[in-house]
Amino acid sequence: MSRISVALLLSEQDINWMSDILRQADADTTRVTDVKQGLRAWRAAPADLVVCDLDELGDDAELIWQRMEQSPDTEWLLLSRGDPHPDWNAKAQQCVATVFRRPVDPELVQAFIDDTLMQQGQSCRATKPILTSQANQFGYLLGSSAPMRHLYRVLKRLGPTGANVLIVGESGVGKEHVAKTLHRLGCDPNAPFMAINCGALSPDLIESELFGHVKGAFTGAHQDHAGIFHQAEGGTVFLDEITEMPQALQVKLLRVLESGEYRPVGSTHNQRANVRLVAATNRDPQQAIASSRLREDIYYRLAQFVVNVPPLREREGDIEALTTHFLAELNHQFHTQKGIDPQAIKRLNAHRWPGNVRELKHAIEHGYLLCAETILPDDLPQAVITPTNTPTAIMLPESLTLDALERLAITQTLARCDGNKTRTAEVLGISPKTLYNKLNQYHSVSSSSTAGERIDSDRG
């Protein structure tokens, strides 16, 4: 890696301790005693960092100021006794220079220089810029992993049917993107898509937002208002976080699902709903029903089909592909050519991503903004680079055999996949044939055990 060039315009009292700090940082240091000579040298080979004694510049101060304006890529560290310099204060602010007042704490200077050299040094180890995406796309969704390919197949079949759909998935997996993809598959391209977050509106407003109201229906209703069901005529209504909808309103939504009609607030006339209804939740539907967050009758009316969106941690290979996609978009948007260090990719792959794709996108944006040319591990958010996401060790009973553990993994995964054997095999990383053989084996063992119990009972 190339060494960082540092120019020192310092008095004798500072040159020794500053040189020691830069020597430890392995910087290529040059002392400049004549400002004009130094400026000529910098035109030929600009310094990465200039450390300058502000109080010793005298008549050459204006020359340094001009050079600061002309060198936006050079880092400037100014030392000062603290005497008022109104002009220099304004210039330091405009050029975002760093000023240390005397007496200078060497440890603070050391920390500043270490940080500066690390940032400047990225250009010397810059990786190949990420200018193209490696993420395959289906509608509004990105990814090529087996769980995502399964999701694409489901959406292709459901989209044209116009059936109501309940989307289940953790926060940040892209449930609204799933809803938009379903909408585009099943509606006219010009049909409206209206989305509402049921948890973002107060109970007093959500009914009016959904069904509209007539003038005078309540205080502040100075004119008629068309609700989302009317605005989305011929299109799709997407109810995000349906389990956050008040129970009283769920009853009215049930009436829409059963009869296809709704009544605006304050009106005496029903209106016909000509929309496709897609809802989403980040909660387990059965747990939401048990905790009275979701009415059971509305669940069965709403969930003609349930679509499960996989979390990012189960999408093998998609993390790196999505990283290239987000970084390529940022480079295109801001006309840059930044890359990402392999160690940063390793950290991304090791993270559990509780916030899923949304969290990954924010992490790449965070790293992009902090890095010079290459996203390094330290440029990523602290939650990503801190190894606090190591899975907790599972304590297994001593009597549990390997066969029993395998059977437990298969049966629980099959339950999570709603009995879908193809999806279960994909999640477990085995072939469908192997899965069917295992299930037949379990069925045979179960049947034999039952027959044995009946024989013993008869003997008794």
pLDDT in tens, 85-107: 777 777 777 777 888 888 888 88
Comparison of pLDDT for 324 and 257, the residue scoring more: 324
Q: Residue 393's pLDDT band (boundaries 50, 70, 90)?
A: low
Q: Cα separations (Å) of 24 from 12, 113, 117, 438?
A: 19, 11, 12, 63
Contact residues for 129 (Cβ-Cβ < 8 A; gap 6+): 331, 336, 337, 338, 339, 373
Q: Between β-strands 236-240 and 276-281, what pairing exists: parallel, antiparallel or unpaired? A: parallel
Residue-wise pLDDT tens digits, 275-323:
999 999 999 898 889 888 899 998 988 878 999 999 999 999 999 999 9
Cα–Cα distance for residue pair 78/51, rounded to 1 Å? 6
DSSP characters over 357-388? HHHHHHHHHHHHHH-SSEE-GGGS-HHHHS--
pLDDT for position 8: 83
B/e letters for 44-55, b = 16+ CB within 10 Å, e = fewer, are eeebbbbbbbbb
- Residue 392 backbone class (left: φ over 0; alpha: ψ -120 to 50; beta: rest): beta
Please give the share of the chain, as a percent, with pLDDT higher than 70: 90
**Choice between 220 and 276, residue whose per-residue pLDDT is larger:** 276
**Cβ atoms of residues 353 and 311 within 8 Å:** yes
Paired with 396 in beta bridges are: none
Torsion angles phi and psi, residue 319, rounded to 5: -60, -50
What local confidence, expressed as pLDDT, does residue 315 receive? Answer: 94
Q: Is 331 helix (H, G, I), strand (E, B) or coil?
A: helix
Sign of torsion, CA 448 454 458 460?
positive
At 148, is the pLDDT very low, low, confident or very high (cuts 50, 70, 90)?
A: very high
User: What type of residue sits at position 267?
Assistant: S
Of residues 184 and 428, more confidence is placed in: 184
Domains belonging to the chain, first-starting first, are: 5-125 (3.40.50.2300), 146-309 (3.40.50.300), 313-385 (1.10.8.60), 402-459 (1.10.10.60)
Contact (Cβ atoms closer than 8 angstroms) between residue 80 and residue 61 = no
For residues 218 and 224, what is the distance between their CA atoms, to the nearest angstrom? 11
Q: Supply angle C-alpha 278, 137, 364, rounded to 5.
A: 95
Listed residue (199, 156, 124, 454) closest to 305, CA to CA: 156
Query: What span, in angstroms and rounded, lies between the C-alpha atoms of 137 and 139?
Result: 6
pTM above 0.75, yes or no: no
Would you place residue 234 in the very low, low, confident or very high pLDDT band (cuts 50, 70, 90)? very high
Q: Look at residue 445 and tell me whether its pLDDT is greater than 80.
A: no
pLDDT band at 454 (very low <50, low <70, confident <90, very high): very low
Arithmetic mean of pLDDT over the chain? 83
Least confident segment among 49-58, 196-205, 357-366, 387-396: 387-396
Q: Output the six-digit token pair for 57.
A: 């510049």
Query: Apex CA 200: angle with CA 196 and CA 203, to 5°?
Result: 95
Both structure tokens of 98: 């760093």
Q: 241 is written with which tokens?
A: 């976080």
- CA quadruple 158, 164, 166, 171: dihedral sign: positive
Q: What is the mean pLDDT of residues 242-259?
A: 87
Answer yes or no: is pLDDT of 78 > 70: yes
Backbone Cα Rg of the chain = 32
**Residues written for the chain:** 460
Instruction: Compute the 3-state secondary structure of the chain and give helix, strand, coil in percent, each to the nearest 5.
Output: 50, 15, 35
Nearest residue to 347 (alpha-carbon basis) of 297, 371, 383, 373: 383
What is the mean predicted confidence (pLDDT) over 204-231?
82
Helix (H) or strand (E) holding 302: helix 296-302
What one-character DSSP code corresponds to residue 165?
E
Distance CA 129, CA 440 (A): 52
Cα–Cα distance between 178 and 152 in angstroms, integer? 9
- Cα 304 from chain centroid (whole Å): 30
341-386 tens-digit pLDDT: 989 999 999 999 999 999 999 999 999 999 988 999 989 999 998 8
User: Which residue matches tokens 């916030």?
Assistant: 355
